[in-house]
Structure 1
Amino acid sequence: MVSPELENIATVWETIAAHLPDALAQAHGDRTFTWSEFETRANGVARTLLDSSASHDDRVALYLRNSPEYLEVQHAAFKIGIPAINTNYRYRDEELQYLFEDADVTSVVFHGAFTETMAALRGRLGKVRQYLHVDDGTEECPPWAVPYEQAAAADAGQVRSSWGRSGADLFLLYTGGTTGMPKGVMWRVIDMLRQINDVAGISFDLDDLEASIRRTLVEPGPVHISCSPMMHGSGWFGATMAMHKGGAVASLVSPTLDPVELLDTIDRHRVQSLTIAGEVFARRILATRAEDPDRWDVSSVRHLLSSGGMLSEASKEGLLELWPEAAILDGFSSSEGFGMGWSMATKGNIPPTGRFSPGANTTVLDDDGVAVEPGSSVVGTLVVTGRLPLGYYKDPEKTQRTFPLVNGERASVPGDRAIVLEDGTIQLMGRDSLCITSGGEKIFTEEVEGVILDHESVADVLVIGLPDPEWGQTVAAVVSLDPDAPVAGLDDLISHVKHRLASYKAPRHIAIVETVPRGPNGKAVYAEARRIAEESRQVAPA
């Protein structure tokens, strides 16, 4: 029988570090770390997290941009059997406070650029015992935080917690909820390991894990770049799959996508795989390459995963001219169910945008729970079975709604709607939750509506997403003003949202109307709101 301690991602990474100690594991600008150094630093962080009050109920928040520290802290958390909480660094104070409180965070690892935000929040976070400051050349480490490099140097050999670790440990993946506030999707670590093992391209015998790794990894694996943030599932999975293969993760230093830095890094490290977030990333890469086509040798790229935003056929064609031997995988998944659908593009074989081959455990059911007939044009609901999360952290009601029994089997029903075409592929139609996806970020209408409605001049509001050729969708609002309140300009309304929420959630288009469209019962009529916004579309200040 396999020891429960071995059924853990930490076991994979520890074994690789012992097997390929001198191979590259992390690169970030001029900084590089071997697998041995990656392991040593993660042990140091784990030792620091195990303070005198540590328990199995601890959680460490990753308030970090992409960097070597992100995976080091994740590895430390796996080692000692606690969840690492992915944190959207674009959140504002209220959103961060909600996330940290909901996740029961006890430690926060943060980049120096976020020092001011953390200083303002500290008094509100009663459960957080310690803060680790990662020096990014911005703000110095404050007296109330531990310098990260001090923690990383605290190695005392292999670190274990008193309660141990196992495959049953909780892995929390936070994602936007239907009310806009993030929700923690609960997975078991062993299920994450199995998922990675199934799709990474290299599979280990999980019943003989350590020996299988040593037999299988005869040389270092490929170098990967997650252009999309590792705080999101697609960026994290892309990086983790590279590590699973004994490869390396090169993270970009720029806080936003810098195509020049990206192409420089591909050239320097002979990068073989990338993760991007849809059209906006692709357009910037292609435009930069076109300006100086002879500057970079990027011929090493073989795999490109796009998730969080669809890629146009034109962009796929352009990317495959740049990387003719590559395969572009347009992935369609959710935190509640992986592998919902895939669209594979290769040079000369580019499928239509928005069309996916369903995953092995994905079906489209009509309102009666019957599989939709291909070519019938019936809009159904996507249902995923097989390997599923345990549910939502501290939210049994939402768990019951999203993970019901479907035809006698527990399933995930995130709310995606689709039709089944004659060839068995699926065409996405949207989500019942009215989620807006802009540049790979999820934006939920009710959250933005609530903030706009708090403005003293606003009487009513509906928020919708409009198509955008670069971002996928952009946020729009249909607003009616209170005639007795001070007059608000568009700049004022947008600034009001940006003061409360991440800036990407602020509307770029606002239509002022006498009455926001609602039915006799007060229910929002979003179709009419979308028509109004389209007809009066005007570009608001960024």
Structure 2
Amino acid sequence: MILGDVIERNARCFGHHPALLFEGRRIDHRTFHERVVRLINALADLGCVKQDRIAVLSRNCPEYLEAYGAAALGGFVGLGLNYRLSETEQAAVLADAQPAVFIFEAEYAGRARALRDRLPPGTHCICFEGPMDGALGYETLLAAASPVQPALRAVEDDTFLLIYTSGTTGVPKGVMLGNEGQLEQARTQAQSHAAVQTDRMLVVMPFYHIGGPTELLTYLVAGATIVLHRTFDAQEILHSIQAQRVTAAHLAPTMISMMLEVQEKTPFDLSSLHTVCYASAPMSVALSLRARAVFGPVFMQIYGMTEAGLGTTLLKHQHVLDGSETDRKRLASAGQAYLGTALRILDDAGRECAPGEVGEVCLRSKSVMQGYWQKPEATAAAMHSGYLHTGDMGYLDEDAFLFIVDRKKDMIISGGENIYSREVEEALLMHAAVAEVAVIGAPDAQWGESVAAIVVLKPGAAVTAEALVTHCRSLIAGYKKPKIVKFVDAMPRVPSTNKIDKRALRAPFWAGRERQVS
């Protein structure tokens, strides 16, 4: 079975049920299927073949989802191009992926024009809004194509998506995600979400990022409705939940925090909402407590990465606020492994760690990536002994709840002691004045490295560095407390994921040194 079978089944079984709601447009499952088939046939008419890469430069829109649908059913490879990257960065991705088709929306026509000379010879350029600067018109192509039978059809081991990593740990690499693997992931997550056909799932994560396609597929499997947003605006999202009677949403913790600021001042009716899945970063215990007080018991966490697919989940009933100390501690965990996912914590020698012992998180499931595009050495380094080695450091408790403590490279060694930044960040986030924090290792002549905290305060809040250090000393061991506290107005962020860019934060501290660790 392939992802395309789901699109066909939805058209057959739920044809008149809305598949997409977007800015006043309503597209039912039958129409979505027909447009996907037309796109497959239009691309085939242009001479495209299976596994050709279809690059898309656009914000979220229904046509973007149709391009991914053509990959799912027709056997093309969908490639979402991060619109926040520079021209040079985008050109590097295109040069690596060698797409046969480059589709863009009019907002990025200027950038598309600049990139065209750097595309492979013969690349077909298509504009969603119509013919422009030599590009073909999307709707014109679809109108001329057959709606009846796709000329090409995917098989289980076809690559479905090529998603480029953010480059947090090096040069961006194209992660190959397989058709059958993504179907397995969608089925498993639909079960964990308790997704049903009558759900309305709000998707605002961009489709060049794994979050958007993951939640789309999770609810597509159920035949549900996607309430699609072009960009994130806290008030607009809250209004959409109220107006469209949204039942589920996928949000990053930073989004949840911004929505709380609005909801606490101007409440919207969120009574239809039964599930909010958060990912991209852990939610601090402090934010989890605050969010549940406002939204109710709707939160579940997903831990994974582009390469891993299924990892772990902390389900709604496991977000326990008033239970035992163990229950409350598990609010900071990433939950337990999905059914069908093997999870091991390994030390540097490849030995399995005991409960409570920190090691590298390693995962195995059907949804793990096929590999890095044209990078066999990088693939072999990440996938060996039958597992994907995530580069995340964590430990399991006695009931196999996973606690992430850091990226492997972010571990701070001070005076021979290992310090994990996540634990220090959690302590700082428990202070009422702190909105956001990142903890990094800074060079220290005496101790090798010392703990540095970069802090963003809440609007109108004030606190001294000394007060924050004292606060930390009351929560964590003294040697873990920050030695350096730097206040900033905003954090630098990785464009593709909006995560805090710790490499940028480290740079001033380690400037002029050959090594970034001591």
TM-score strictly above 0.5:
yes
User: Structure 1, residues 387-415: CA drift from partner, whole Å, max 9, x if none?
Assistant: 2322111001011110011xxxx110021
Do structure 1's residue 55 and structure 2's residue 26 form an aligned pair? no
Paired position in structure 2 for 1:411: 387
Paired position in structure 2 for 1:282: 256
Over 3 Å counting, the alpha-carbon distance change for 1:353 and 1:220 in structure 2 is closer
C-alpha displacement at 1:503, in angstroms?
A: 12
In 1, the alpha carbon distance for the partners of 2:346 and 2:508 equals 39
In 1, the alpha carbon distance for the partners of 2:147 and 2:192 equals 28
Over 3 Å counting, the alpha-carbon distance change for 1:200 and 1:505 in structure 2 is same
User: Structure 1, residues 295-339: CA drift from partner, whole Å, max 9, x if none?
Assistant: x3211111111111221233323332333252x122110122233
C-alpha displacement at 1:465, in angstroms?
A: 9.5
C-alpha displacement at 1:245, in angstroms?
A: 0.6
Residues 86 and 173 in structure 1, CA contact (< 8 A), matched pair in contact too? yes
Do structure 1's residue 146 and structure 2's residue 141 form an aligned pair? no
Over 3 Å counting, the alpha-carbon distance change for 1:155 and 1:325 in structure 2 is farther
Residues 225 and 274 in structure 1, CA contact (< 8 A), matched pair in contact too? yes
Paired position in structure 1 for 2:511: 516
User: Structure 1, residues 334-362: CA drift from partner, whole Å, max 9, x if none?
Assistant: 12223322233546466555422341411
What does 1:310-329 correspond to in 2, within 5 Å?
A: 310-326=282-298, 328-329=299-300
Q: TM-score, with normalisation over the residues of structure 2?
A: 0.76
Over 3 Å counting, the alpha-carbon distance change for 1:511 and 1:134 in structure 2 is same
Over 3 Å counting, the alpha-carbon distance change for 1:511 and 1:156 in structure 2 is closer
Residues 41 and 155 in structure 1, CA contact (< 8 A), matched pair in contact too? no
In 2, the alpha carbon distance for the partners of 1:220 and 1:385 equals 29
In 2, the alpha carbon distance for the partners of 1:300 and 1:90 equals 33
Do structure 1's residue 333 and structure 2's residue 304 form an aligned pair? yes
Paired position in structure 1 for 2:348: 367
Over 3 Å counting, the alpha-carbon distance change for 1:268 and 1:122 in structure 2 is same
Return the match for 2:334 from 342, 356, 374. Answer: 356
SS of structure 2 residue aligned to 1:298: coil
SS of structure 1 residue aligned to 2:42: helix
Residues 80 and 159 in structure 1, CA contact (< 8 A), matched pair in contact too? no
For 2:187, give the aligned amino acid: N
Do structure 1's residue 261 and structure 2's residue 236 form an aligned pair? yes
Over 3 Å counting, the alpha-carbon distance change for 1:143 and 1:30 in structure 2 is same
Residues 79 and 159 in structure 1, CA contact (< 8 A), matched pair in contact too? no
Return the match for 2:266 from 287, 292, 309. Answer: 292
In 2, the alpha carbon distance for the partners of 1:343 and 1:470 equals 28
In 1, the alpha carbon distance for the partners of 2:168 and 2:121 equals 26
SS of structure 2 residue aligned to 1:108: strand
In 2, the alpha carbon distance for the partners of 1:89 and 1:313 equals 33
Residues 163 and 208 in structure 2, CA contact (< 8 A), matched pair in contact too? no
Over 3 Å counting, the alpha-carbon distance change for 1:511 and 1:247 in structure 2 is closer
Over 3 Å counting, the alpha-carbon distance change for 1:399 and 1:169 in structure 2 is same
For 1:228, give the aligned amino acid: M
Paired position in structure 2 for 1:97: 91
For 1:356, give the aligned amino acid: A
Residues 417 and 432 in structure 1, CA contact (< 8 A), matched pair in contact too? yes
User: Structure 1, residues 177-219: CA drift from partner, whole Å, max 9, x if none?
Assistant: 466432122232112112211221299xxxxxxxxxxxxx9x8
Do structure 1's residue 80 and structure 2's residue 80 form an aligned pair? no
Residues 133 and 145 in structure 1, CA contact (< 8 A), matched pair in contact too? yes
Over 3 Å counting, the alpha-carbon distance change for 1:508 and 1:434 in structure 2 is closer
SS of structure 2 residue aligned to 1:394: coil
In 1, the alpha carbon distance for the partners of 2:406 and 2:499 equals 23
Return the match for 1:383 from 343, 346, 362. Answer: 362
SS of structure 1 residue aligned to 2:335: strand
Do structure 1's residue 165 and structure 2's residue 154 form an aligned pair? yes
In 2, the alpha carbon distance for the partners of 1:97 and 1:289 equals 40
Paired position in structure 2 for 1:41: 35
C-alpha displacement at 1:118, in angstroms?
A: 0.7
Paired position in structure 1 for 2:114: 120
- Out of 258-267 and 315-324, give the one that drifted further: 315-324
| Runs (5+) with no aligned partner, structure 1 | 1-6, 204-216, 438-442, 446-463, 472-493, 528-542
C-alpha displacement at 1:434, in angstroms?
A: 5.1
**Aligned residues: percent identity?**
22
User: Structure 1, residues 250-279: CA drift from partner, whole Å, max 9, x if none?
Assistant: 1124x3x2122111211222111111112x
| Runs (5+) with no aligned partner, structure 2 | 323-327, 412-420, 423-437, 441-450, 459-489
Paired position in structure 1 for 2:380: 400
Residues 168 and 494 in structure 2, CA contact (< 8 A), matched pair in contact too? no
Over 3 Å counting, the alpha-carbon distance change for 1:469 and 1:235 in structure 2 is farther
Q: TM-score, with normalisation over the residues of structure 1?
A: 0.72
Residues 364 and 383 in structure 1, CA contact (< 8 A), matched pair in contact too? yes
What does 1:150-229 correspond to in 2, within 5 Å?
A: 150-161=140-151, 164-171=153-160, 172-177=162-167, 180-201=170-191, 220-229=197-206
Count residues in correspondence: 438
Do structure 1's residue 270 and structure 2's residue 235 form an aligned pair? no
What does 1:363-512 correspond to in 2, within 5 Å?
A: 363-375=344-356, 378-387=357-366, 388-405=368-385, 410-433=386-409
Instruction: Report the RMSD for the aligned CA atoms in angstroms.
Output: 3.6
Residues 310 and 353 in structure 1, CA contact (< 8 A), matched pair in contact too? no
Over 3 Å counting, the alpha-carbon distance change for 1:510 and 1:56 in structure 2 is closer
Do structure 1's residue 308 and structure 2's residue 273 form an aligned pair? no
In 2, the alpha carbon distance for the partners of 1:97 and 1:189 equals 26
